[in-house]
Each structure stands twice: as structure tokens, then as C-alpha cells.
Amino acid sequence: MKVFHRLAVSAAAACFSLGAMAVSAGQAAAGVFDSGIPSGWSCVGTCGASPADGVVTAPPSGATNYGWVSSNQGVSGVGLGLGGERTGSVLRTVAFTAEAGDELAFSFNYVTSDGAGFSDYAWARLLNSALVPVSLLFTARTTPGGSTVPGFGMPPIEATIDPATVTIVAGPPVWSPLGGSSGTCYAAGCGFTGWVQSTYSILAGGTYYLEFGVVNVLDSAYQSGLAFDGITVGGVIIGPQPIPEPMTLSLLGAGLIGLAAVRRSRREDKAAAAA
């Protein structure tokens, strides 16, 4: 009976271990935006989720969809208050908790049909539980020459980005979220950045929100947008958590059966000892 007991314990442990690994793998494979904008996220203006489209390729996370915000059909009153903002859009996550030292990571791609002196811009920032900005993570800005990311002439960023500086891939960008501006270009500065990786170490434990935004500057013509994906905090995605697949449930069920066998063998051992 002792041998059986050890085998049952080992089988149960193995099944639970496999089940946990399967759940973890399912979470890692799930894209934040594969089912659209996650429930509970808030959008002001125009936001959405799309697969590879035009100049914005499939996200580097391997997910099917990425999220985006666009100044197309945006609203007034958004931006960082730098001056000249007209219309734009903002997407904000649900509240999430993080510990000091947790890594906040995601990738982004800035796309703009505007150029010359019309310096549209995009950003991401971390907000505390009272929606007060804590960290400006990255900026991107239309400019005829120089650094598009971090945004030329904008406040310094606090995340680490890879590549460290990015100039625009010039040309009229074809991308559906730009609406009627897709495939158009107003002078030098239009184009897209390609996917850029951003990482930031949370300074203090607490409750936070992550915000993505884009805004037209000086006019509301020739739209700009921002794509983003792969958002994780401490290695865990911000978004819907996937339901374990049938294989995972089977493994967990096998683990429960193993534990039941362990309990039964213990009762039989006690009965034999009492006799």
C-alpha cells in the first residue's frame, strides 16, 4: 500500500504540474486584443483592434490582433497639454496592481499621414489609482527630420525603448484606422515607425492604469494613429485571462482523481493498522 501511495502522490503532482503549465502556456499564447478591446477598458474618441493591415504588420508578440487609437473621428480635449492640440483619441486599461520592480512591457507602432510643421503626436503613460500621471513612458511625433521616437521636442520619456531612437519610414502610409487619410501624405514627415519595444520598471507597488493616446496638432486633417500590443506587467497580460483548454481540464481532473486515490489508500492503511 505504501508503494501505491507514493505512486498516487507522484501521479497527482505530475498532473497538477502539467495542468499549471498548460494554463500558463494558454495565457502566454493569448493576445490581449485577439477578441477586440478587452471588457472594462475605456475609450475616448476612436479605438479598435485589427490584424495585420497595410504598413502595420502582425504584432511581434505572435498574437492575431493589435490594439490601436486614431485621430480619425477623434474628439477635442485630449493630449498632454503641449499646445496646439485639436482632436484625438485615448484608450485606457482597466486598473491593475503591480509590485515595485515589476516590468511593464509592450510594443507600439506610430503611423502618420501628416508632415511638415503639423506635429501630430502619440504617447503612452502610467497613471495611478486616482488617474494622476506617474510616468511618461514613450512619445512619438511627426517631424520632417530627426527623431520621431522619442518625440522630437517633447518631454523626456521614462521607459527603455528598442530601438533607442527611431526615424520615420517615409511615404504615404496605408492603414485602415486612418480613415480617408490612409494612403495619403502631407509633405515630409509622414510614414510609420515599425514596431518598437518599450519596457519600464514599476517604481512602487500600487494600483495603476496604462493609457495610450494620439492627437492632431494645429489642424484636424491628415490623421495619425498608434498601434500597440503585447502588454504585460510582471510577465502577466493586461486583458482577458483565457479559459483553460479541454486538455488542461482533463489534466486537472486526473490530478483530482490521484488525490482521491491517496486519501483512499490512507484510510485503508489506518484500517489495516487498527486490525
State the CATH number of the domain containing residue 59.
2.60.120
Q: Does the residue 138 lie in any domain? A: yes
- Domain span at residue 109 reads 29-237
- Under the banding of pLDDT at 50, 70 and 90, the label for residue 17 is very low
CB atoms within 10 A of CB 245: 13
- 34-48 tens-digit pLDDT: 999 999 999 999 999
What is the percent of the chain with per-residue pLDDT over 90, rounded to a whole number? 75
Q: Give the global pTM.
A: 0.79
Q: How far apart are CA 196 and CA 111, in angstroms?
A: 12
What's the pLDDT at 263?
Answer: 52
Q: With a cut of 60, say whether residue 21 has pLDDT above it.
A: no
Q: How many domains does the chain have?
A: 1
- 69-117 tens-digit pLDDT: 999 999 999 999 999 999 999 999 999 999 999 999 999 999 999 999 8
Please name which of 50, 264, 39 lies closest in space to residue 175, comparing C-alpha atoms.
50
Q: With a cut of 80, say whether residue 251 has pLDDT above it.
A: no
Q: Does the residue 178 lie in any domain? A: yes
Q: How far apart are CA 10 and CA 249, in angstroms?
A: 19
Q: Does the residue 250 lie in any domain? A: no
- 139-197 tens-digit pLDDT: 999 999 999 999 999 999 999 999 999 999 999 999 999 999 999 999 999 999 999 99
Q: Does the residue 57 lie in any domain? A: yes
- Dihedral (CA of 30, 34, 38, 43) sign: positive
Q: Does the residue 4 lie in any domain? A: no
Q: With a cut of 90, say whether residue 249 has pLDDT above it.
A: no
Q: Does the residue 267 lie in any domain? A: no
Packing angle, helices 246-274 and 2-29, rounded to 10: 160
Q: Does the residue 89 lie in any domain? A: yes
Q: With a cut of 50, say whether residue 241 has pLDDT above it.
A: no
Q: Does the residue 266 lie in any domain? A: no
